[in-house]
Structure formats: structure tokens, C-alpha cells
Chains A and B, each alone.
Chain A
Amino acid sequence: DAKTTQPNSMESNEEEPVHLPCNHSTISGTDYIHWYRQLPSQGPEYVIHGLTSNVNNRMASLAIAEDRKSSTLILHRATLRDAAVYYCILRDVRYEKLTFGTGTRLTIIP
């Protein structure tokens, strides 16, 4: 499985943008980049995914490097509800499973 590397934790001020980085230097051509987030005692929540081009949805934006070896999840205006563990995952279209690492714990400062 291709691996991802994320910082263990990050802090951000409320109402400011947040940039969550992810390195995936061994990404293959069949890997999609997925982001999920998880609140305590809840299941992971899908945030966004992409293959090569940058993606936007109502929750966030995903910026993917041209060589696809890194990506950044962008929360445009953080709220206290965005405090969670964020997982960057590579999903190989050939296989079923998602491989979760330990993620980035995001703390939002009021």
C-alpha cells in the first residue's frame, strides 16, 4: 500500500483558513486521494477526494501537487465544529480497502 505522512497535530484560529498537508511520495497512477475527518466516538466523515486536478466542494478544497506526491486540504474559514482528526488516504481503484494512518488532530482556538 502506498503510504501517507501527515503532521500529528495542528492548531488554527477560528474563522481563519486552515491548510492541512499530506505527503504521499509513493502514490501510484491508480490511487485517488481521499480525505476524511473523525470526531470522538463517531464514524469518519467523508470530506473530499480527487485524482489529479484541484477539487472544491461545500466543505473544503483539495489542492493536489502537479507531481501528485503531496496534497493539501483547505478549510476556508475554520469553525469550532471543524475540530477533529483529519485523515489523508490513498484509495487504489483496484482494491476495496481504505488504509487509514493516524491522521492530524486539528484544534481550533476560539
Chain B
Amino acid sequence: DGGITQSPKYLFRKEGQNVTLSCEQNLNHDAMYWYRQDPGQGLRLIYYSQIVNDFQKGDIAEGYSVSREKKESFPLTVTSAQKNPTAFYLCASSISRPQPQHFGDGTRLSIL
């Protein structure tokens, strides 16, 4: 079945550590996105990529980095510069605007 796979489902980060969240899609979608969701709130856009080797900052990019070396993959690194990283992270993809975005099941990141 086609879809978006995020891993791991749960992740713990130590102080001063960088961690990378994986996102893979087999939908042949050009655009991919990373969102952050805090408890009881909506999603906020971190980064997005419309094409391989290109990506753009969203509303809350500080403390995060991404790469898009392959169409299928869009990993997100949460760096030590992100002081409040505890959240639910969601990856999405879409064919193009204004088509719907399809979401993975998320990664929950916590601080040890």
C-alpha cells in the first residue's frame, strides 16, 4: 500500500544532542512537509520541500534542519539549538497545491 512512513514512533533526546526523524513516502509525491503539534493545538509548519535538493523554511524553522536528497525521503533533524523540542512531529506529502496533504502517523519526541 502507498503511504508515508515515519520512524521511530517514540524518540528521546538528551540535552545537547541532535536527533533525526525519518520520513519516507512511496506515493510519488513531489512536495513534502514537516509539522510540529503541541498538546491541544493545531499543526505548525517547520519546513517544506517542493522538489529534490530544494526546501523552504516554514513558520518555526529555528532549531531544525532538513535535507531532500531523494524524492522519497525528507528527514528532519532537531538540533540542540531547539530549546523546547518536546512535541508530536508529523510528516506529510502532496502531489501539488491545492491537492490534499497525506500524513504519516507521527513521531513523539521527548527530552530525557
Query: Does A87 contact B98, Cβ atoms closer than 8 Å?
Result: no
Query: Does B106 contact A49, Cβ atoms closer than 8 Å?
Result: no
Query: Does B106 contact A91, Cβ atoms closer than 8 Å?
Result: no
Query: Does B43 contact A41, Cβ atoms closer than 8 Å?
Result: no
A-B pair number, CB within 8 angstroms: 60
Interface of A is mostly: loop
Q: Which of B33, B43, B105 contacts A42 (CB 8 A)?
A: B105
* Chain A: CB-nearest residue to B9: A41
Q: Count chain B residues whose beta carbon lies closer than 8 angstroms to a beta carbon of A.
A: 30
Kindly state the separation between the CA atoms of A99 and B58 in the bound complex, as whole angstroms. 11
Query: Does A96 contact B90, Cβ atoms closer than 8 Å?
Result: no
Q: Which residues of A contact B100 (CB under 8 A)?
A: 34, 46, 49
Kindly state the separation between the CA atoms of A32 and B50 in the bound complex, as whole angstroms. 19
Nearest chain A CB to B36 CB, angstrom units: 11
Interface 9-residue window, one of A21-29, A67-75, A100-108: A100-108
Query: Does B42 contact A45, Cβ atoms closer than 8 Å?
Result: no
Q: Which residues of B contact A110 (CB under 8 A)?
A: none
Residues of B within 8 A of A (CB): 4, 6, 31, 33, 35, 40-45, 48, 50, 56, 58-59, 88, 90-92, 97-98, 100-106, 108
Given contacts A43-B103, A95-B97, A97-B45, 7 further A-B contacts (CB under 8 A): A41-B105, A43-B91, A43-B92, A92-B98, A96-B45, A102-B41, A103-B42
